[in-house]
Structure 1
Amino acid sequence: MSLPKTGYVRLSQILGNPKANPPIPAIIPVSKSTWWAGVKSGRYPAPVRHLGPRITAWRAEDIRAFIESPSNNHHGE
């Protein structure tokens, strides 16, 4: 899956979902627990929660900036 230039992405789009049909490849290959620990510590971008009461998503621009940042060459560390 390619990351959209703008808009929002869900966690399954970021971390991938091999059980989806068709499977969704990971943009950032870490586990959910690693992702949420990184969000809490500030390593990974914070989600946007104003989309709905049970919707958690991330701005595509924030994920793209994180990926392109030179300090983030090793996503899983």
Structure 2
Amino acid sequence: MYLSNNQVQKRYNISRTTIWRWTEKGIMPKPHDIGGLKRWRLDELERWEKKLN
């Protein structure tokens, strides 16, 4: 399953700017380009969440 920017914002209660800042700094997983749209894989985000705890 893939999540949009808006879904990632809601999941972590962060702004669009924070998502891209964290992505650029390697803090969170990078999105995949699907038909010109950036999407995050839910399983990659869940693995990242586990590393944070």
- Return the alpha-carbon distance in structure 2 between the equivalents of residues 68 and 43 of structure 1: 13
2:18 aligned residue? 34
**1:65 maps to 2:28:** no
**1:10 maps to 2:4:** yes
Q: Which runs of 5+ in 1 are unaligned?
A: 1-6, 17-26
- Return the alpha-carbon distance in structure 2 between the equivalents of residues 58 and 37 of structure 1: 15
Structure number with higher helix proportion: 2
Q: Which runs of 5+ in 2 are unaligned?
A: none
AA in 2 matched with 1:64:
E
Q: Give the Å deviation of 1:48.
A: 0.2
- Return the alpha-carbon distance in structure 1 between the equivalents of residues 47 and 12 of structure 2: 12
Between the two proteins, what is the percent identity of the paired residues?
23
How many residues in Structure 1 have an aligned counterpart in Structure 2? 53
Q: Give the Å deviation of 1:32.
A: 1.2
Q: Give the Å deviation of 1:28.
A: 1.1
Report 1:18-29 matches (<5 A). Answer: 27-29=11-13
CA RMSD of aligned residues (A): 1.2
